[in-house]
Amino acid sequence: MKITDLQIPEAVKELITKSGIIELYPPQEEAIKTGVLDGKNLVLASPTASGKTLIAELCALKHILERNHKVIYLTPLRALASEKFDEFKKYTAITKTDGRRIRVGISTGDFDSADPWLERNDVIITTNEKADSLLRHRAKWVDDVSLVIADEIHLLNDAERGPTLEVTLARLMQTSPDLQILALSATINNVDEIAAWLKAEQVTTEWRPVPLREGVLQHDEIQYKDGDARRIEKKTKDPATNLVLSTINSGGQVLVFASTRKSAVALAKKFAGEIEGVLSKPARRSLEHDAEQVLASDEKTRISETLAELVKRGTAFHHAGLGSRHRRIVEESFRQGKIKVLTATPTLAFGVNLPAKTVVIQDYRRYEAGYGYYPISVLEYKQMAGRAGRPKYDKCGEAVLIAKTADEADYLLESYIFARPERIWSRLAVERIMRSHVLATIAADFAHTETGIYEFFGKTFYAQQYDVDAIKGLISKILNYLSYEEMIEVLGDNIVATRLGKRVSELYIDPVSSVVIRDSLRNNISHVTDLSLLHMISHTPDMGPILRPYTQELGELTAFMEEHKQEFLVDVPDEFQDSVSYEQFLGEVKTARTLQAWIEEASEEQVIDKFGVQPGDLYRMIENAKWLLHATHELTPLFGNRQVLPQTSELTERMEKGVKKELLPLIKLEGIGRTRGRIIYNAGYKTIEDVKHAPVEALTNLPLIGQKLAKRIKEQVGGFVKKDSWEKLDREDWKQKALTEY
């Protein structure tokens, strides 16, 4: 079937064929035959790289152009959301019947907002969490949505992301019964259950456009699924390095999956040493440029220096410890064929299109504290393997597991390469997770009676697989808790959310976090310091994994705790009677101190060195801290406590920018962050008024400011500037622009 044969608007056909897609792939054809373009629900379960997104795009355009409705595209990860955003952007060239161009929006952050500005978009790409929070805020534009696309729906199986996805879909089905749902999935064993849940047709295929050869490398030979074998030239002692070299020598690129961040970095270093000699001179020059970009974006830290050093040598690593800008540079450079080997943790396993001719799965075991080592699932293996051989980039792909012995090779062939992916199971029935969803169900008016709540949870994937009766006990326990903590009120059969309950649900925090905030501030109001609040938010379950103290830090940390004992709003557990809670407490204090160092203007490098965190973790902690401080600010008045409000609002701002209080006025200026703000302040310009009266030349001469920024500052603050100075700035600005455009 050709694109031109489809029942879709001409402009869409034109755009797609222009992008090089002429003929539908067989799974796409099957999908079309189910009537998905006419509004039928569908679960499309098809191997990696089989073009599932195109079906989503076609459906989306039908809804937008023919019905003038909106589309939500749900992804499990921010990185995938931005890739899909880039893909959908090409359709903004198309004009709708109302004369306006199609608009595409992305929203993945700030959970306490209905994002009314999203209203103007036709396609809204979001993460599952953001969609859940938008529904809690009852965002008005959701009523105009007539199609929901759930990408990577097999992640229902993921303990963290799965429950949010199923609750979000259940809510959407409840609020808009006419909604069309298109779920995209990897091939899994129980597609029928998902299809039954979503009242959808199903298409399951094993077809892949680009052949993917799966094999196991042992010593110098790869044994493939089809019985074939291939010898790899033995240039070094390490089999994986030899495979990397062989792919690069044949003009390909390699993606290596490691099980931990540490091993991703170590592997990148190992490969860099070996492939350096293979790079041509022009390739090196262009890599040097990318390395400079790594150093120029974000603050310089040891991790960015290591990364830049590796990029110069045609290698890089990619994991959640890297800042998002660095991740993007690395992805882009790999896409452009400059970086030859990319090592990654499973963060890159889902959905992304990368030019990896060979994927190496270095380690099929994963370590989890408390559990020890366990083998990854077949589903995860297939997702990682599926990053190889993507149609845009390669004619064939190869995915290779590494074995040390013949026995291990047999085990890997059997357990992964010949194995079928597992069934997926709902992960909803966990108290910590259900707590927040039960409250939201009441607070956002999805149900008002106990029966109504069961009915709602009866629409989840959990109920499809088990029976809602199985979680009735859990739900009723949660209702008791919420009622005891005054987040809901039970009046006869009727259950309503209190103001507190509503706000907690909208703020997208665990009800337990709000109880921590309430109890902390209720009892100890007299001596609230920055440390008090930073520790309090670190004590909530929403702070996420707290930092674990290293043995050598324990002495200093304990001394610090003693010294600041008065400031903690939560009782310090007894070291001997409850050593687990005590250790947890130490971790919270360490987390609080890390955040404090950030707002006291320690450089990223200093924070990273002193507390042993990585930039990506630091950014995550800062994000969470900002969100929890905002939540504290919003909730305390409901607890009858307004005293801390000035402090919480100031801390939220300081957390966002990483500055001391005195810098707050200056960093409101556009283009001024913590580093430049400090330079201006230390030069004696401490307020906006000072900056207004500063001679332009004085600003221009400050380090890191320069002509262009000085001009922008002056434009913002106003004040008197001599005509000659201004003209000179204008000339320089113009010259700069001309140069960059050239």
Ligand X SMILES: Nc1ncnc2c1ncn2[C@@H]1O[C@H](COP(=O)(O)OP(=O)(O)OP(=O)(O)O)[C@@H](O)[C@H]1O
Which residues contact ligand X by CB under 6 A? 21, 23-25, 28, 46, 48-54, 186, 351, 353, 386, 390-392
50 binds, among Mg ion, ligand X, none (CB under 5 to 8 A by kind): ligand X
502 binds, among Mg ion, ligand X, none (CB under 5 to 8 A by kind): none
271 binds, among ligand X, Mg ion, none (CB under 5 to 8 A by kind): none
The owner of tokens 């997770």 is: 433
204 binds, among Mg ion, ligand X, none (CB under 5 to 8 A by kind): none
DSSP 91: G
Q: Which amino acid is at 670?
A: E
Backbone angles phi, psi at 414, to 5 degrees: -70, -45
Q: Which amino acid is at 3?
A: I
DSSP 403: E
- What angle, 0 to 180 degrees and rounded to 10, lies between the N-to-C axes of helices 499-507 and 128-136? 160
- The smaller minimum CB distance to ligand X, of residues 390 and 502, is found at 390
24 binds, among ligand X, Mg ion, none (CB under 5 to 8 A by kind): ligand X
The minimum distance between CB 197 and ligand X, in angstroms, equals 20
Cβ neighbors of 660 (< 8 A, separation 6 or more) are 599, 600, 601, 654
353 binds, among Mg ion, ligand X, none (CB under 5 to 8 A by kind): ligand X
**Distance between CA atoms of 84 and 464, rounded to whole angstroms?**
30
The minimum distance between CB 14 and Mg ion, in angstroms, equals 24
54 binds, among ligand X, Mg ion, none (CB under 5 to 8 A by kind): ligand X
Backbone angles phi, psi at 448, to 5 degrees: -130, 5
- The smaller minimum CB distance to Mg ion, of residues 43 and 696, is found at 43
The minimum distance between CB 21 and Mg ion, in angstroms, equals 15
- The smaller minimum CB distance to ligand X, of residues 350 and 619, is found at 350
Asked if 708 and 732 count as a contact pair (C-beta separation under 8 A), the reply is: yes
Closest C-alpha to 679, from 622, 601, 610: 601
The minimum distance between CB 32 and Mg ion, in angstroms, equals 17
| Helix residue ranges per DSSP H, 564-658 | 579-599, 604-611, 615-635, 645-657
The minimum distance between CB 36 and ligand X, in angstroms, equals 15
**Distance between CA atoms of 229 and 201, rounded to whole angstroms?**
40
441 binds, among ligand X, Mg ion, none (CB under 5 to 8 A by kind): none
The minimum distance between CB 151 and Mg ion, in angstroms, equals 6
Closest C-alpha to 154, from 437, 386, 446: 386
The minimum distance between CB 44 and ligand X, in angstroms, equals 8
| R_g (Cα) of the chain, nearest Å | 28
The minimum distance between CB 392 and ligand X, in angstroms, equals 4
Backbone angles phi, psi at 453, to 5 degrees: -65, -45
The minimum distance between CB 379 and ligand X, in angstroms, equals 11
- The smaller minimum CB distance to Mg ion, of residues 351 and 501, is found at 351
- The smaller minimum CB distance to ligand X, of residues 45 and 442, is found at 45
- The smaller minimum CB distance to ligand X, of residues 212 and 625, is found at 212
25 binds, among Mg ion, ligand X, none (CB under 5 to 8 A by kind): ligand X
- The smaller minimum CB distance to Mg ion, of residues 252 and 351, is found at 351
The minimum distance between CB 390 and Mg ion, in angstroms, equals 10
Asked if 449 and 441 count as a contact pair (C-beta separation under 8 A), the reply is: no
- The smaller minimum CB distance to ligand X, of residues 79 and 482, is found at 79
- The smaller minimum CB distance to ligand X, of residues 39 and 391, is found at 391
147 binds, among Mg ion, ligand X, none (CB under 5 to 8 A by kind): none
SS3 370: coil
Residue 539 exposed, middle or buried by CB count within 10 Å (0-12, 13-18, 19+): buried
Asked if 593 and 560 count as a contact pair (C-beta separation under 8 A), the reply is: yes
The minimum distance between CB 195 and ligand X, in angstroms, equals 18
Q: Which residue has the CB atom at the shortest distance from Mg ion?
A: 351
321 binds, among Mg ion, ligand X, none (CB under 5 to 8 A by kind): none
DSSP 101: B
> What are the tokens at 558?
């304990």
386 binds, among ligand X, Mg ion, none (CB under 5 to 8 A by kind): ligand X
The minimum distance between CB 461 and ligand X, in angstroms, equals 20
**Distance between CA atoms of 189 and 193, rounded to whole angstroms?**
9
DSSP 70-89: EEEEEESSHHHHHHHHHHHG
Asked if 311 and 342 count as a contact pair (C-beta separation under 8 A), the reply is: no
H or E segment to which residue 489 belongs: strand 488-491
- The smaller minimum CB distance to Mg ion, of residues 187 and 246, is found at 187
Closest C-alpha to 72, from 88, 91, 92, 54: 88
**Distance between CA atoms of 30 and 559, rounded to whole angstroms?**
67
CA 147 → CA 92, 139, 179, distances in Å?
18, 16, 6
- The smaller minimum CB distance to ligand X, of residues 31 and 453, is found at 31
Compute the half-sphere exposure of residue 161: CA atoms within 13 Å on the CB side of its CA.
18
Closest C-alpha to 712, from 690, 696, 731: 696
**Distance between CA atoms of 609 and 462, rounded to whole angstroms?**
44
The minimum distance between CB 28 and ligand X, in angstroms, equals 6
Mode of pairing for the β-strands spanning 180-185 and 201-204: unpaired
The minimum distance between CB 57 and Mg ion, in angstroms, equals 11
343 binds, among ligand X, Mg ion, none (CB under 5 to 8 A by kind): none
DSSP 375: E
- The smaller minimum CB distance to Mg ion, of residues 351 and 397, is found at 351
Q: Which residue has the CB atom at the shortest distance from ligand X?
A: 51
- The smaller minimum CB distance to Mg ion, of residues 54 and 672, is found at 54
- The smaller minimum CB distance to ligand X, of residues 32 and 275, is found at 32
Closest C-alpha to 678, from 656, 641, 648, 703: 703
- The smaller minimum CB distance to ligand X, of residues 76 and 215, is found at 76
391 binds, among ligand X, Mg ion, none (CB under 5 to 8 A by kind): ligand X
The minimum distance between CB 56 and ligand X, in angstroms, equals 8
392 binds, among Mg ion, ligand X, none (CB under 5 to 8 A by kind): ligand X
H or E segment to which residue 307 belongs: helix 302-312
Could you tell me how far CA 409 lies from the centroid of its own chain?
34
Closest C-alpha to 147, from 115, 127, 122, 113: 122
Residues making contact with Mg ion (CB under 5 A): 351
